[in-house]
Each structure stands twice: as C-alpha cells, then as structure tokens.
Chains A and B, each alone.
Chain A
Amino acid sequence: SAVISQKPSRDICQRGTSLTIQCQVDSQVTMMFWYRQQPGQSLTLIATANQGSEATYESGFVIDKFPISRPNLTFSTLTVSNMSPEDSSIYLCSVSSGTVSNQPQHFGDGTRLSIL
C-alpha cells in the first residue's frame, strides 16, 4: 500500500492563528481525504480533496475554516484557520487508489494539534 507522510506530526498553536498540514503520498492515488479525530472518539470526514478543483466538504465543515488544496495526485494540504481550543484534535489524511466502495483507504499517522 501507499506510504503516506503527514507534516507536522504535532503542534501547539495559539488561538486565532492558522496551521497548514501537509500530506504527501509516495505514489499517485485517485482519492485523498481529510478526517478529524477528537480525543477518544471515532473519525469524522471533513472533506474529499479533489485534484484540480474545490474540495467536497461534509456537513458541518466549511471551506473558510478548513481550506484544502490538492495540486496533483500525490499531495494535499489542509489548513485549520482561526483556531480555537475546540479545534484541538488529530487530523488525518487518507488515500485510496480505487473507489472506497471496493478498496480500503490507507491513513497517515496524523497531526496532533493542541490549541492554547
């Protein structure tokens, strides 16, 4: 399976600032996704990163708060904007080489974000 690298692995940020998280894959993939995982909870999909077009956001997530880029088939970024303590979470990138209805997604190790 693809090797997925996320940067940074963790960060501590001040409220009101923004942080951009990078996701790099070692091979071209069809689909890239961004998830949030709050402490002790399951994964919630933020958006699907679409190559060359705007991301597709899930209910409760908006582009102004979580702008996403995907300039090519191996790289994506997620920005967490104007951060507040409620944004303290693990942010995970995942990829799929086919459709997720018949192939598993594979995940990076996440970015652990704490907001003071």
Chain B
Amino acid sequence: GESVGLHLPTLSVQEGDNSIINCAYSNSASDYFIWYKQESGKGPQFIIDIRSNMDKRQGQRVTVLLNKTVKHLSLQIAATQPGDSAVYFCAEPSGGYQKVTFGIGTKLQVIP
C-alpha cells in the first residue's frame, strides 16, 4: 500500500562520522530491497540494492544490512560528506505485481 509520512525523521551527523539510516519493512515475503537518495530539487537516485538471500552488501562508502528476522534494513554511510545531505528512502516490491512501495524517508543533514 501507500507509504505516507507527515514529518520526515531527520538525522544530523558531523562531517567525517559514519551515518546509519534505518528502515522497517512490512512484507515478510519481500525478496528485494532498494535504497534511494533524493537531493533537493532532484528525483530519487538509486544507491544500492540487496536481495533477501544476502545479509549485507557493500558499495562505495555505503553498506546495506538486511535483518529478515525483524524485517529491518539499514544503510550505513562511511565518512559522511556534505554531499551526502539528502533524503534517503528504502523501497520494496509490493502488491503482488510490478510496483514498489517507498518508506517514509529520512533526511540526513551533514554538519561541516
């Protein structure tokens, strides 16, 4: 179904520190998850994805962790930079056919 958030959660992180953004998903049958980054004035940009047969996947400065037991995803950003300031969304396939449901999003603010 729809995912609507009235107030975006905000995470403030000092430049150079690591960031952890969390996401809970609802469908225990979901087998594919995606993280998107949306900068101000732009569309969501694909960052990294993970399939349910994995617990962890690493990209460049980003790591996604999947805990299927508690239906939880996290996105870890190493050595956070000002350019990482954006809203981050997790997404999962839903509805029994080809569509995707987005989480409410988390706003990451990097403090220089």
List residues of A whose CB falls within 8 A of some B CB. Answer: 1, 4, 31, 33, 40-45, 48, 58-60, 92, 94, 96, 99-102, 104-110
Candidates B41, B93, B103; contact of A42 at CB < 8 Å:
B103
Tell me the residues in window 23-64 of chain B with beta carbons closer than 8 Å to chain A beta carbons: 31-32, 34, 36, 41-46, 49, 51
List residues of B whose CB falls within 8 A of some A CB. Answer: 1-8, 31-32, 34, 36, 41-46, 49, 51, 89, 93, 98-105
Candidates A43, A60, A96; contact of B102 at CB < 8 Å:
A43
Note all chain B residues with C-beta closer than 8 A to A92: 43-44
Note all chain A residues with C-beta closer than 8 A to B3: 42-44
Q: Are A33 and B99 in contact (CB under 8 A)?
A: yes
Note all chain A residues with C-beta closer than 8 A to B89: 42-43
For the residues of A in contact with B, the DSSP-based class is loop
Nearest Cβ on chain B to A57's Cβ, whole angstroms: 11
Q: Are B98 and A99 in contact (CB under 8 A)?
A: yes
Note all chain A residues with C-beta closer than 8 A to B44: 43, 92, 107
Interface centre among B1, B36, B99 (most CB of A within 10 A): B99
Q: Are B100 and A100 in contact (CB under 8 A)?
A: yes
Note all chain B residues with C-beta closer than 8 A to A41: 4-6, 8, 104-105
Using CB atoms, name the residue of chain B closest to A40.
B8
- Lowest 5 A-B CB distances belong to which pairs? A107-B43, A101-B93, A104-B46, A43-B102, A109-B43
**In the complex, A110→B34 CA distance in Å?**
20
Note all chain B residues with C-beta closer than 8 A to A108: 43
**In the complex, A104→B64 CA distance in Å?**
15
Nearest Cβ on chain A to B91's Cβ, whole angstroms: 8
**Contact sample, A vs B, 26 pairs, CB 8 Å cutoff:** A4-B43, A31-B98, A33-B99, A41-B6, A41-B104, A42-B103, A43-B3, A44-B4, A44-B102, A48-B98, A58-B2, A58-B99, A59-B1, A59-B2, A92-B44, A99-B98, A100-B93, A100-B100, A102-B32, A102-B51, A104-B49, A105-B46, A107-B36, A107-B44, A110-B42, A110-B43
